[in-house]
Amino acid sequence: MDLRISELIKNGEIVRRPDVERLLQLSYASAQRHLANLVERELILFEGAPKTGKYVLTRKGEKFLASLKKKRDHR
């Protein structure tokens, strides 16, 4: 699930927790837990004010997604 969220953030489809809930059909608690996990792993971060801010990929997150893409391409 964390990978899917990261990919959606990269594609600009998710920028806030309610987007995660709606697009992935998750509860508030599940969406919050997955986002917190990604933040803790430093793959995403929240930029801006609580009401208007958004989640973005970090460089570490971009590298992580790129490495997974390479692994998929080699299969």
For the cut 90, the answer to whether the pLDDT of residue 69 exceeds it is no
If one counts the domains in the chain, the total is 1
C-alpha dist (Å) from residue 27 to 13, 32, 39, 49: 18, 8, 18, 23
> What's the predicted TM-score (pTM) here?
0.87
Please, are residues 54 and 35 in contact by the beta-carbon 8 Å criterion?
A: no
75 occurs within a structural domain = no
CA within 13 Å, CB half, 15: 10
40 occurs within a structural domain = yes
pLDDT at site 2: 85
pLDDT at site 71: 77
71 occurs within a structural domain = no
| Domain that includes residue 10, residue range | 2-66
62 occurs within a structural domain = yes
pLDDT tens digits for 12-52?
A: 888 899 999 999 999 999 999 999 999 999 999 999 999 99
33 occurs within a structural domain = yes
13 occurs within a structural domain = yes
pLDDT at site 30: 96
What is the dihedral sign for C-alpha 14, 34, 56, 63? Answer: negative
Give the domain CATH number at 9.
1.10.10.10
